[in-house]
Structure 1
Amino acid sequence: MSRRSSRSSWHSRSSRNTADEQINELASRLQLLLPQIHNNHSNKMPAAKVLQGTCNYIRNLHEEVDNLSERLSELLETADIIQADFLRNLLSK
């Protein structure tokens, strides 16, 4: 192997290791932010599992927002004018 290709190969491995280390560090930080992952697993998880858990958590949050929006719409429909105005004022702040 020539000296140049040896350096190039080392540089690519070194860059890959640095990128892997960065991904693992970011996954560890992300794991701390996610309640169901952080509370259930005190040990480090593989980055792929953390990302999968993150996607599931975000999906659940979207569902929760949709459900709460539906409940709020129903509440506003059944509330009298004063109650509805009061709720709208609370939400606009």
Structure 2
Amino acid sequence: MTEETEKHGKPWKIVGKFNDFKGADLLRQGILLEGEEDLAVKVKKLSSGFVVKIRNKKGESGGTTEEENTDQRTKKRKKSRKGKDRRK
């Protein structure tokens, strides 16, 4: 299948990988203490450990435009129509 997967929201950037939660949490807390209010920080559990991810809450990738939203809706409609055709 060569269908494109749709990604929603702003992309996250990996800033560190750790084997234990304590190390990952220390990095997360350090980033939060730097005081950048427009950063979102999270610790994510993986099968092989933990990863710390960040992204801008606002700024250059500040959401989707109306044109992008329209394109996304069009893709969803086409995808749902394909499913209905297969069911018949």
Q: Shorter-chain TM-score: which interval?
A: 0.3 to 0.5
In terms of fraction of residues, the more helix-rich structure is 1
Ranked by relative contact order (alpha carbons within 8 Å, sequence separation 6 or more), the top structure is 2
TM-score, normalised with respect to structure 2: 0.32
TM-score, normalised with respect to structure 1: 0.31
Query: Which structure: larger Rg?
Result: 1
